[in-house]
Structure 1
Amino acid sequence: MKTVKIIGVPEHFNLPWHLAIEEGTFEQRGIDLQWTDIPEGTGKMCQLLADGETDLAIILTEGIVKSITEGNPSKIIQEYIATPLLWGIHVGAQSAYRTIADLENTKAAISRYGSGSHLMAYVHAQNNQWDLDTLQFEIINNLNGAVQGLTDGKADYFMWEHFTTKPLVDDGTFRRLGDCPTPWPCFMIVGTDKFLNGNPRLINHVLEVINTYTRDFKNIPSIDRTLANRYKQKLEDIKSWMALTQWSQEQLSPETLAKVQDTLMHLSLIKDKKASENFLL
């Protein structure tokens, strides 16, 4: 049995992995796939990949592209989610801010620098033609930290996946002022160079298993109810999310990778573009 460490956010996107683990499908291939939830998100996962503390990660596209340009010895193995991520833009329930325009020159809560919440704050600011040099940030580590930060007034707004934060909007903890979708496929399957170079056949087995699950995922009987119960979501919200979400079994295209790099360059978040072979397995 070969042990493989994998990390990802504790969100509904990753249920196919958990089903495959729980049903013993990886074990049937001689793989002990050990999953660890990382509630801090992409910035933390980039660090764990760079430090060699995990073999694989399910991670946001813009975060891993930025991290690889900065020397993270990892590669994108393939896309995981082919559709954009819908980032909700949230303020505290008692906040005086009522519109997106009100948030100009205010402070964004982010899980950490290099995270999706950090990078998408720039994309959102650019969309609204704000001065990027005036962006301010407060590190809050995770969703619980964001609740505390917005409630205490340490930060003014927080961007996080729309449906993950929906229960906090429903219970009156947050108010959502709008949404900002990523301009590219949102989640990638990523591995460290060391692991990928040493285990090419093993990677193929992992992909064969997860791609079988994601290809058929929406056809699993009552999967919407399973998701709603497991992730404490309303059934109507899960149905809306599933209608927006498409899993992928293909590699990220060089053209889309170039778009991500061009955007990060334009936002001054990376210093230069690199050839696709630096990123893609």
Structure 2
Amino acid sequence: MKTIKIAGVPEHFNLPWHMCIENGEFEEVGIDLQWTDVPEGTGKMCQMLRDKETDIAVILTEGIVKDIIAGNDSKIVQIYVKSPLIWGIHVAANSNFKTLEDLKDKKAAISRFGSGSHLMSFVNAQNQNWDTSKLEFEIVNTIDGAVEALTNKKADYFMWERFMTKPLVDNGIFRRIADCPTPWPCFVIAVRNEVLEKYPHVIDQILEIINATTSEFKMIPSIDRMLASKYNQKIEDIQEWLSLTHWSQKQIDKKTLNKVQEQLHSLNIIEKTVPFETIAK
């Protein structure tokens, strides 16, 4: 049995992994795939790859691209979710902010530097023609930290996946004032280069198993009810999310990767662009 460690956010996107693990599909081919939930998100997972605390990460595209260029010795092996991530832009329910324009030059809560919540605040600012050099940040680590920061006015707004944050909106803790979709496929699968070189066949088997499940995921009977129950969501919200979410079984292409790099470069998030082979296998 070969042990492989994998990390991802505790969100509905990753239910296919849990189903494959619970069904013993990896064990059947001699792989002990050990999953770690990382509520802190992409910045934390980048650090885990660097520190060899995980072998694989199911991770936001923009975050891992930035970190590989910054020296993370890993590669993207495949797109996992090809549809955009819809980032909700949230404020405290009782705040005076009503429109996106009200948030210009205000402080964003982010899980950590290099995370999606950090990088997407730049994308949102660029979309609004704001001066990105004036962006300010409060590190909150997790969504619970964001609740505390916005409630106590340590930060003014928080960008997080719209559907996972919706229970906080429904419960009157947050108010969502806008959406900001990623301009690229949202999740990719990244693997440490050392693991890729030592166990290419194992990685291929893992991808084969997860791809078989994601290609049929939406057709699973009552999958909407299962997701709603497991992730504390309303059934109608899950049904909308399912209609907007599309998994992938293919590698990222050069055109898409160049687009990600060019936008990150225009925002001064990366200092340079690099060849496709540096980032993707």
Q: What's the TM-score, normalizing by structure 2?
A: 1.00
Partner residue, 2:114: 114
Partner residue, 1:152: 152
Partner residue, 1:34: 34
Partner residue, 1:5: 5
- The one-character-per-residue Cα deviations of 1:253-280 (angstroms, maximum 9, x if unpaired) are 1100000000000000000000000011
Give 1:52 shift.
Answer: 1.1
Partner residue, 1:18: 18
Partner residue, 2:255: 255
Give 1:93 shift.
Answer: 1.1
CA distance in 2, matches of 1:15, 1:244: 16
The letter for the 2-side match of 1:161 is E
The letter for the 1-side match of 2:122 is Y
Partner residue, 1:178: 178
CA distance in 1, matches of 2:247, 2:270: 28
Equivalent residues in 2 for 1:87-166, closer than 5 Å: 87-166=87-166
Partner residue, 1:70: 70
Equivalent residues in 2 for 1:236-247, closer than 5 Å: 236-247=236-247
- The one-character-per-residue Cα deviations of 1:16-75 (angstroms, maximum 9, x if unpaired) are 000000000010010100000000000000000011111000000000000000000000
Secondary structure of 1:24's partner? coil
Structure 1 segments unaligned to the other structure (5+ residues): none
Give 1:94 shift.
Answer: 1.3
CA distance in 2, matches of 1:115, 1:207: 25
CA distance in 1, matches of 2:207, 2:141: 30
Partner residue, 1:276: 276
The letter for the 2-side match of 1:92 is A
Secondary structure of 1:224's partner? helix
CA distance in 1, matches of 2:48, 2:257: 22
CA distance in 1, matches of 2:151, 2:253: 41
- The one-character-per-residue Cα deviations of 1:110-159 (angstroms, maximum 9, x if unpaired) are 00000000000000000000001100000000100000000000000000
Runs of 4+ in 1 over 3 A off after TM superposition: none
CA RMSD in angstroms, aligned pairs only: 0.4
CA distance in 2, matches of 1:74, 1:214: 23
The letter for the 2-side match of 1:117 is S
Structure 2 segments unaligned to the other structure (5+ residues): none
Partner residue, 1:232: 232
The letter for the 2-side match of 1:168 is L
CA distance in 1, matches of 2:105, 2:209: 47
Matched, 1:168 2:168: yes
CA distance in 2, matches of 1:94, 1:223: 35
CA distance in 2, matches of 1:226, 1:132: 41
CA distance in 1, matches of 2:148, 2:196: 39
- The one-character-per-residue Cα deviations of 1:214-261 (angstroms, maximum 9, x if unpaired) are 000000000000000011100000000000000000000110000000
Secondary structure of 2:137's partner? strand
CA distance in 2, matches of 1:216, 1:195: 28
Secondary structure of 1:203's partner? helix
The letter for the 1-side match of 2:100 is I
Secondary structure of 1:159's partner? strand
CA distance in 2, matches of 1:13, 1:140: 22
CA distance in 2, matches of 1:207, 1:47: 23
Partner residue, 2:215: 215
CA distance in 1, matches of 2:59, 2:267: 21
The letter for the 1-side match of 2:218 is K
- The one-character-per-residue Cα deviations of 1:52-103 (angstroms, maximum 9, x if unpaired) are 1110000000000000000000000100001000000000011111100000
CA distance in 2, matches of 1:57, 1:101: 35
Partner residue, 2:47: 47
